[in-house]
Amino acid sequence: MILVTGATGLAGSAIVREFARQNTPVRALFRSPDMARPLRGLTGVELVQGDMLRAESLTTALRGVDRVLMISSADKRMAETQYAFIDAVKAAGVPYIMKLSGKESGIGFDPFKFQGTREHVEIERHLEASGLAWTHLRPSQFMHRYLPGALTGVDAARRELRLPIGDIQLSPVDVEDIAKVAVALMRSDGHEGMAYDMTGPEALTMKEVVEHISQATGTTFTYVPVSLEEKLREFRELGVPEAFAQIIKDQLAERSRHPESYVRTEIHEAFGVRPTSFAEFAQRHAKAFLRL
């Protein structure tokens, strides 16, 4: 049996739906029954409640499992959560974890300059030292990060993308592609001890990103390069907690220092998954880009 954690989140729910679409049985871990409601009734999906931070709550979830896909929120408890979960998986005698990790696509981006990427590196090391068999899947920025409502997304009211990253490139990836690749990895053998970086098919400047959004929505969106200080002020106006705003500021500052972005689609190709372009993503989400 395969267990997927973080099943109610953005990546986890796409992955669980992909298992269902492929008629492959999967167990999905959730914390809150409300959050799990959209997953009810999916073919072959067994929903089990548990908290990754509390080993005693995971007995049912881990029973009979031979592979785990570990996902949790990129919040201040990510490292603590995943360390505790790795230890619980080991204690339960489950031999293998694939970690949904993360890696910036900026060439030269120092993962230790941003809390999110630093913690992914540290958790990967903890997993590698655990004695369990492991695989790391390292997607770049999710394309969803440009939707209104995301901290680095468009301002739908102003029809603007306001970011302090000048003309740098990023290579965002579609979560649906991640889901297809993750399911293929979990269903096949021979990936133990491997780490797979994964981006979308193009390195794009923010000007190119808004051109795709404008084309898809039939509405002009503009890229407005702002200063880091101005972006921080906007975060404060939105009520973003100061500590979190500072973390995102670190990420944006480090992005600015590395203008070129690499493209890695080998893992798409290995499983015959056609990499989704940003233009296709924008067309699929055209209504969401216009939602105020």
Question: Applying CB under 6 A, which residues contact ligand NAP?
Answer: 5-12, 29, 31-32, 35, 51-53, 71-74, 78, 81, 100, 102, 116, 139, 141-142, 145
Q: How far is the CB of 117 from ligand NAP (least distance, A)?
A: 8
Shortest distance, position 195 Cβ to ligand NAP, whole Å: 13
80 contacts 16 by C-beta, under 8 angstroms: no
Rounded to a whole number of angstroms, the minimum distance from the CB of residue 141 to ligand NAP is: 4
Rounded to the nearest whole angstrom, what is the least distance from the CB of residue 3 to ligand NAP in the complex? 11
Q: How far apart are CA 150 and CA 240, in angstroms?
A: 11
In the bound state with ligand NAP, the residue whose beta carbon lies nearer, of 3 and 29, is: 29
Given the complex with ligand NAP, which of 87 and 229 has the nearer CB atom? 87
Label residue 198 exposed, middle or buried (CB < 10 Å: 0-12, 13-18, 19+): buried
Task: Write the CA distances from 280 to 28, 47, 192, 217, 266, integer angstroms.
Answer: 29, 32, 33, 12, 20
Q: Which is nearer to ligand NAP, 35 or 220 (CB)?
A: 35
Residue 86: alpha-carbon gap to chain centroid? 19
Shortest Å distance, C-beta 214 to ligand NAP: 22
Q: Which of 165, 138, 144 is nearest to 256 (CA)?
A: 165
CB of 213 to ligand NAP, least distance (A): 17
Alpha helices in the chain (DSSP H): 10-21, 33-36, 59-62, 78-91, 115-129, 175-187, 206-217, 228-237, 242-256, 266-270, 278-284, 286-290
Closest CB 54 distance from ligand NAP, rounded Å: 8
Specify the residue, 72 or 171, whose C-beta has the smaller distance to ligand NAP: 72
The residue nearest ligand NAP at its CB is 9
Nearer to ligand NAP, 32 or 190 (CB): 32
d(C-alpha 66, C-alpha 63), whole Å: 9
Specify the residue, 177 or 220, whose C-beta has the smaller distance to ligand NAP: 177
Token pair of 164 as six digits: 């302090």
What 8-state DSSP symbol labels residue 23? T
Cβ distance to ligand NAP smaller for residue 149 or 229: 149
φ, ψ at 134 (rounded to 5°)? -145, 160
